[in-house]
Amino acid sequence: MALRKLKYEAEIALRHFQIFKAVKENQPIGIFKLSEVLNMPKHKVRYSLRVLEHSGVIEPSQHGAIIPEGAEEKIEKMKKDLEEIKSYIKEIQKIAESL
């Protein structure tokens, strides 16, 4: 069903947020160190870093990933999007419980 894809996407989003948090707490930090800190395969870390970089919330540096100046606005947008997603999930839950 469609929930399988939603679950998969949620797992990926969770990984992106975990990696983002680790970058914020340990910047600058590279792929190998992130992989070690989070106990994740390097290819998954690399993919998430690419997605986060494309989103503008991290950027590469000579010493590893960092949070660039001005990223706060994009981070706030991500938080708002997450709140909206939570409201959709609550609505889906209500409907599912009524079935």
Query: Would residue 36 count as lying in a domain?
Result: yes
User: Residue 72: its pLDDT value, please?
Assistant: 87
Query: Would residue 87 count as lying in a domain?
Result: no
CATH number at residue 15: 1.10.10.10
Query: Would residue 54 count as lying in a domain?
Result: yes
- SS in 3 state form for 18-82? HHHHHHHHHCCECHHHHHHHHCCCHHHHHHHHHHHHHHCCCECCCCCEECCCCHHHHHHHHHHHH
3-state secondary structure of 8: helix
Domain span at residue 23 reads 2-70
- Record the pTM: 0.86
CA nearest neighbour of 64 among 43, 44, 49, 42: 49
Query: Would residue 80 count as lying in a domain?
Result: no
Query: Would residue 90 count as lying in a domain?
Result: no
Query: Would residue 44 count as lying in a domain?
Result: yes
Query: Would residue 20 count as lying in a domain?
Result: yes
**Phi and psi, residue 14, nearest 5°:** -60, -45
Query: Would residue 55 count as lying in a domain?
Result: yes
CB 74 within 8 A of CB 55: yes
Q: Please, which pLDDT band fits residue 12 given cuts at 50, 70 and 90?
A: very high
pLDDT, one tens digit per residue, over 27-53 is 999 999 999 999 999 999 999 999 999
pLDDT, one tens digit per residue, over 39-96 is 999 999 999 999 999 999 999 999 999 999 888 888 899 899 999 999 999 999 999 9
Q: Please, which pLDDT band fits residue 19 given cuts at 50, 70 and 90?
A: very high
Tally of structural domains, the chain: 1
Q: Is the pLDDT of residue 2 over 80?
A: no
CB-count burial class (<10 Å; 0-12, 13-18, 19+) for 45: buried
